[in-house]
């Protein structure tokens, strides 16, 4: 790993402050660096378009939160470039590295001493009149959901062409194991170990309370047919990319043919992340206790 790409969360000053020390440190150790244009402009140095960085480098460092990390995972796509996330956002399930441990982790990661995890992604295609009119990849989840003012929607759902149910709900989530701690968790779904070969199908606020989340093998084809006459239903990918749906649109979701490669700090484990991020084991210490 001699060529290092760096992509940062925009709109905040913190990445630029970190880079003032990080860039000289990397160059001193013989690494060639490629910085996204938006961040490079704040440092008055030359940058590269984000879309080109995965084709130029051996590894990508992301300075930001999980949202920035998700966008980079989709950007990398089938190129197989390993990604290391440094948390300068909020919760940080995907951006496992903290700022105060950045240099120690990089020393180990860039010399191949730390493990690399492969995480499955999803592919989604919207069919209208039997033609695929929109195609996307997602790291966390593919979601069909109604707008704020829309009524409950009907989502006719099939697995491997076998009818499952017509969910009457606010929406439906198809989640990867990585995404099981995101929107699907809020919808009552289980936490899946991130390297499992499984998917979660979770209805959002179903009209029938016995409609519960289902864990499925990752080799299934999921088809969702919108059976509601409304202009306020959307397909969203990782909560960041959206597409407006129409009556009788068919959304096909399946495992993507490629995976995201995440570099993980040595000595950390998934259960430690759960304890920290979800505050397992902590007790309420409010005034009324």
User: How do residues 58-104 score in pLDDT, each as one tens digit?
Assistant: 999 999 888 899 999 999 988 889 999 998 866 677 777 888 888 98
Tell me the mean pLDDT in the region 120-131.
Answer: 96
Of the pLDDT bands very low, low, confident and very high (cuts 50, 70, 90), residue 15 is confident
Does a structural domain hold residue 224?
yes
The CATH number of the domain holding residue 160 is 2.60.200.30
Q: How many helices (H) and strands (E) does the chain have?
A: 7, 17
Burial of 69: CB neighbours in 10 Å, binned 0-12, 13-18, 19+: buried
Are the beta carbons of 254 and 222 closer than 8 angstroms?
yes
Domain enclosing residue 225, as ranges: 121-257
Does a structural domain hold residue 37?
yes
The CATH number of the domain holding residue 110 is 3.40.50.10330
**Residue scoring higher pLDDT (1 or 287):** 1
Does a structural domain hold residue 284?
no
Same domain, 72 and 199: no
In sequence order, the β-bridge partners of residue 216 are 199
Same domain, 100 and 126: no
What's the first-to-final CA gap in the chain, in angstroms? 53
Q: Using CA atoms, how far apart are residues 261 and 254, in angstroms rounded to an integer? A: 19
Does a structural domain hold residue 137?
yes
Same domain, 248 and 268: no
Does a structural domain hold residue 283?
no
Mean pLDDT value across the chain: 90
Tell me the mean pLDDT in the region 128-138.
Answer: 95
pLDDT, tens digit, 9 for 90 and up, residues 241-286: 999 999 999 999 999 999 999 988 877 778 888 887 788 877 766 6
Q: Percent of the chain at pLDDT above 70?
A: 97
Residue of 36, 58, 66, 238 marked catalytic: 66
Same domain, 81 and 132: no
Same domain, 169 and 270: no
H-helix or E-strand spanning residue 275: helix 270-277
Same domain, 201 and 154: yes
Report pLDDT for 123: 96
Q: How many domains does the chain have?
A: 2
Same domain, 126 and 231: yes
Range picked from 40-49, 97-106, 121-130, 267-276 for highest mean pLDDT = 121-130
The structure's pTM equals: 0.89
Does a structural domain hold residue 45?
yes
Report pLDDT for 78: 85
- To the query of whether residue 249 is one of the catalytic residues in this protein, the response is no
Does a structural domain hold residue 237?
yes
Tell me the mean pLDDT in the region 180-197.
Answer: 94
């Amino acid at each position: 790993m001699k060529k290092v790409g760096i992509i940062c969360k925009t709109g905040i000053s913190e990445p630029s402050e970190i880079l003032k020390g990080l860039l000289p440190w990397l160059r001193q150790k013989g690494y060639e660096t490629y910085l996204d244009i938006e961040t490079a402009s704040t440092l008055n140095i030359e940058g590269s378009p984000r879309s080109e960085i995965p084709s130029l480098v051996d590894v990508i460092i992301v300075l930001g939160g999980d949202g920035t990390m998700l966008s980079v995972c989709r950007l990398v796509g089938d190129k197989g470039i390993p990604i290391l996330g440094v948390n300068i956002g909020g919760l940080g399930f995907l951006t496992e590295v903290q700022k105060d441990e950045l240099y120690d982790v990089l020393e180990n990661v860039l010399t191949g001493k730390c493990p690399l995890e492969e995480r499955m992604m999803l592919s989604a295609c919207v069919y209208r009149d039997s033609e695929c009119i929109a195609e996307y990849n997602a790291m966390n989840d593919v979601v069909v959901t109604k707008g704020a003012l829309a009524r409950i929607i009907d989502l006719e759902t099939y697995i491997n062409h076998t009818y499952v149910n017509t969910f009457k709900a606010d929406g439906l989530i198809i989640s990867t194991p990585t995404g099981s701690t995101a929107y699907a968790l809020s919808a009552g779904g289980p936490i899946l170990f991130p390297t499992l070969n499984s998917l979660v199908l979770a209805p959002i606020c179903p009209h029938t309370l016995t409609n519960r989340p289902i864990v499925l093998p990752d080799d299934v084809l999921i088809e969702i047919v919108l059976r509601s006459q409304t202009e306020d239903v959307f397909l969203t990918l990782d909560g960041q990319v959206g597409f407006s749906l129409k009556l009788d649109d068919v959304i096909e979701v399946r495992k993507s043919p490629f995976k995201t490669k995440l570099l993980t700090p040595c000595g950390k484990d998934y259960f430690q992340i759960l304890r920290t991020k979800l505050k397992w084991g902590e007790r309420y210490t409010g005034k009324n206790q």
